[in-house]
Amino acid sequence: MRILVANGELAGAGGVETYLATIVPALQAAGHDVGILHDQPAARGGAQRIAPVGLWHAGVQDEGLDTAMARVREFAPDVCFSHNMRALAVDTRLVGEWPVVKMMHGHFGTCVSGHKAFAFPGVAACTRTFGAGCLACYLPRRCGRANPFVIGREYRWGSEQRSLFGRYRAIVVASGFMRHEYLRAGVSPAAVHAIPLFAPPCAIAHSGDEHEGELRPIDVAFIGRMTTLKGPDVLVDALARAGSRLGRPLAAVFAGDGPELEWLRAQAASRGLAARFPGWVTPDARDQLLRQSSIIAVPSRWPEPFGLVGLEGAVFGTPAVAFDTGGIGEWLVDGENGRLIAPGGGAAAFGDAIAGILGDPAVRRRLATGARVVAQRLTVESHLRRLIPVLEGAARVAVLS
């Protein structure tokens, strides 16, 4: 097949770019011709380039939409595989001429802010369906930025994205939870495919043969944006509780950045935690952090579409402790590759789970082994075995029609 991959960025630091940086060469290795259509200028840098240097690509902002689309016609794709495309005019043009398979990496078109969570009076997952009624909740429940212009812009964007649902030949999501979200939005069951994400293949190849279950230099690692939705504030309280139970301060690393960073740093210091805050780390440093950690914490209180960071830790035999939100429970099985905590348990239950793992060598060994098993099962090859038939099906229907 000739596959056009469409994404907002040609290079970036997000999870979507990391995903595409693996998938594009994997599709090439499987014998497919791949081209890239990106919206943002090619000169914008990022840690992950989604295509090897020299691969055919066209840029909307570099060349103009009409010229970029003319170049896509010359490329003549059999199917388009679209990802985070904030400029929906691009998707609109694509669906008008070619079959498009859309991968939804977040709650796009199913939530005004995309968070799918309320922040007031406490953080809680939202179960509403997208509609005008969401506007009545947005400010009182603090669903996003308290700016009426932002609210209007986000609602219009979500409505436009939603209008494209029926024009995509298929929608791919990373979990059964997300599939249910798009079914609730009215997408045909035959059109929505839940295909789990995969553990990083390079990390698997270099994960080593560490002695399973040994305590590592870092007790707990958190990698993510420093916001209340991601739950690092809950983790600070949980670490203090776990340290009290174990009779020692825990060594923790909070890797990332965000609006709560300085407040979290102060909170950790006030609780006597041995915590480091290095900011965002490079891919190599990230792997080293996961390799040196006994636990990867995923205290998200919003409904994570998948929760990939836990699977990234599993490559190194690092079990996860996470709240049971969104799609996390589809790769994390309580007692097998980590601990899955009911959100209502809060910091107390989270801290008890951390202490239970760190304080019991037999538990650590069992969960570390289970983590590696999951990472070896959810591979890029298993992902492609399910993805390629979806792309081929969309292309085949286009030929028949």
pLDDT value of residue 211 = 66
What confidence tier does 293 reach under pLDDT thresholds 50, 70, 90? very high
Per-residue pLDDT tens for 238-258?
999 999 999 999 999 999 999
Q: Which residues have CB under 8 Å from 166's CB, separation 6+?
A: 187
pLDDT value of residue 68 = 98
pLDDT (mean) for 96-121: 94
pLDDT value of residue 388 = 98
pLDDT value of residue 148 = 81
What confidence tier does 124 reach under pLDDT thresholds 50, 70, 90? confident
Predicted confidence (pLDDT) at residue 210 exceeds the cutoff of 60: no
What confidence tier does 209 reach under pLDDT thresholds 50, 70, 90? low
Which residues of 112-229 form beta strands (DSSP E)?
117-118, 124-125, 170-173, 192-194, 218-223
Q: What phi and psi values does residue 124 have, to the nearest 5 degrees?
A: -155, 145
The set of long-range contacts for 52-56, using a CB threshold of 8 Å and a minimum separation of 24, is: 52/24, 52/25, 52/28, 55/24
* Helix ranges, 185-315 (H): 201-205, 232-246, 261-270, 283-291, 308-314
Predicted confidence (pLDDT) at residue 204 exceeds the cutoff of 90: no
Per-residue pLDDT tens for 365-383?
999 999 999 999 999 999 9
Residues of the chain with pLDDT > 90, as a percent, come to 80
Domains of the chain, by residue range, sit at 2-199+380-400, 201-377
Q: At what angle do helices 346-358 and 232-246 cross, to 10 degrees?
A: 50
Looking at domain 201-377, its CATH architecture is 3-Layer(aba) Sandwich (3.40)
Q: What is the mean pLDDT of the chain?
A: 93
Per-residue pLDDT tens for 20-38?
999 999 999 999 999 999 9
What confidence tier does 201 reach under pLDDT thresholds 50, 70, 90? confident
What confidence tier does 48 reach under pLDDT thresholds 50, 70, 90? confident
Contact 50, 17 (CB under 8 A): yes
Angle among Cα 204, 305, 120 to the nearest 5 degrees reads: 135
Predicted confidence (pLDDT) at residue 397 exceeds the cutoff of 90: no
pLDDT value of residue 338 = 98
Q: Report pTM.
A: 0.92
Per-residue pLDDT tens for 318-330?
999 999 999 999 9
CA separation, residue 221 to residues 21, 249, 253, 310 (Å) = 25, 14, 5, 10
Judge residue 146's burial from the number of C-beta atoms within 10 Å of its C-beta, 0-12 exposed, 13-18 middle, 19 or more buried: exposed
* β-bridge mates for residue 172, sequence order: 103, 193
Residues of the chain with pLDDT > 70, as a percent, come to 97
Residue 137 tokens read as 């909740």
| Matching fold, domains 2-199+380-400 and 201-377 | yes
Q: What is the third-level CATH fold of 2-199+380-400?
A: Rossmann fold (3.40.50)
Contact 218, 293 (CB under 8 A): yes
